[in-house]
Amino acid sequence: MPPNPSPLTAPTAEDFRAWHRVQSAALAHDRPGEPVLSATALQAKLTTTGNRSRLLLWLVRNANEEPVATATLRLFNEPGRSHLAEVRMTVHPAYRRLGTGSRLLSTVTEAAAEAGCRSVVTEVMAGTPHEGFLATRDFQPVLRLTWQRLALDDVPDRIHKLPDVPHPGYRLTSWEGVVPDALAESFADARRGMDDMPTGAVDFGEVRWDVDAVREAAEVIARRGERLLTVAAVDALDGSVAGYTELVIPAEGAGTAQQYDTAVLPAHRGHGLGLWVKAEMLRRVREEFPQLSAVQTDNADDNRHMLALNTALGFRPLRRTVEYQLTLGRR
């Protein structure tokens, strides 16, 4: 009989090492060749959150105290998203099809219901048995995503010239970490450029950005030991942020960087600002982080504009995933 999952309320260093073993084994099996987070980086991600959300953790061990599965449940504290929970669950390849995943998923979704959530979302690789596993448990596919990867050695030559191409009425600026005070208000406003991001049928809710929220998001990344870089296009007339792109550099300054948000406010679209800021970001990281090998990003399949923009920059398809959603109380 599968072990009873119980929440990890006071994780130890050994718990995090065990968690890392499960994650590493699953990644090697499911996505061979992709980089594995270090144990230190993984622990930082599991233990560092801001005021807008919190994480509940489960680590399942068998009768021999071997780690066999992990799960996280992200609960949102902000009013516009308190109805939604995000689940990330991993079962060690050697212990699959033994019932552990079923019991763990049931435990985690019950915890979401007890927290007052109405929807649970999770993400799995497209075309794998994980899709059938969720479908038989009343989860519905709500968003399809394409992940892309850019090898920094393969950036097309023409992209290196784009930052020097003038865009009348705009100028480029950049910063690391927390946004400078002079741009804080307009940068928070520029987050509205993500409001029309395709989210499929996900019960996404409303993300409200203000200066405090923008600063806190950057501070959380810093507490994880990572580095947040931002490049923005600024309106030359009033000095406000018209569009921006963000990249998170691993703590080691090497390996694969993760693309975060890229957005242009509706009033400033049609001027090539998205390509401009992303090209400048690539120029900067190639110069300042020579040990970085690649940048990774994901976009909804419906976001054809951003997928095409990334392809123009040299990104290539890496994998496809599907977000599934469970409406609590249906079963």
Is residue 119 helix, strand or coil?
strand
Same domain? 36 vs 81: yes
Q: For residue 240, give its domain range.
A: 149-318
Same domain? 278 vs 165: yes
Same domain? 91 vs 238: no
- pLDDT per residue as tens digits for the range 120-140: 999 999 999 999 999 999 999
Cα gap 252→236, rounded to integer Å: 36
Contact 105, 90 (CB under 8 A): no
Contact 174, 276 (CB under 8 A): no
Cα gap 175→218, rounded to integer Å: 11
Same domain? 77 vs 163: no
Q: Does the residue 285 lie in any domain? A: yes
Cα gap 22→18, rounded to integer Å: 7
Q: Does the residue 2 lie in any domain? A: no
Burial of 222 (0-12, 13-18, 19+ CB in 10 A): middle
Domain of 112, CATH number, reads 3.40.630.30
Tokens of 147: 């992940």
Q: Does the residue 266 lie in any domain? A: yes
Q: How far is CA 151 from the centre of its chain?
A: 19
Same domain? 305 vs 163: yes
Cα gap 57→74, rounded to integer Å: 9
Same domain? 86 vs 178: no
Same domain? 237 vs 167: yes
Bridge partners, residue 124, by sequence: 322
- pLDDT per residue as tens digits for the range 166-195: 999 999 999 999 999 999 999 999 988 888
Same domain? 154 vs 92: no
Same domain? 21 vs 170: no
Residue type, 267: A
Q: How far apart are the first and last CA of the chain?
A: 24
Distances (CA, A) of 306 to 82, 145, 167, 169, 298: 28, 12, 20, 23, 10
At residue 284, the pLDDT reads: 95
Bridge partners, residue 73, by sequence: 56, 87
- Among 95, 117, 139, give the residue marking a domain's end: 117
Contact 233, 243 (CB under 8 A): yes
Closest CA to 215 of 188, 194, 241: 188
Q: Does the residue 280 lie in any domain? A: yes
Task: Count up the domains in the chain and report the number.
Answer: 2
Low-confidence ranges of the chain (pLDDT < 50): 1, 330-331
In the chain, beta strands by DSSP E: 53-61, 67-76, 84-91, 119-125, 140-151, 170-176, 227-235, 241-249, 255-264, 292-300, 316-327
Query: Cβ of 181: how many Cβ atoms within 10 Å?
Result: 9
Query: Cβ of 257: how many Cβ atoms within 10 Å?
Result: 25
Is residue 114 helix, strand or coil?
helix
B/e letters for 259-287, b = 16+ CB within 10 Å, e = fewer, are bbebbbbeebeebbbbbbbbbbbbbbbee
Cα gap 237→226, rounded to integer Å: 34
At residue 4, the pLDDT reads: 61
At residue 331, the pLDDT reads: 42
At residue 3, the pLDDT reads: 52
Residue type, 82: S
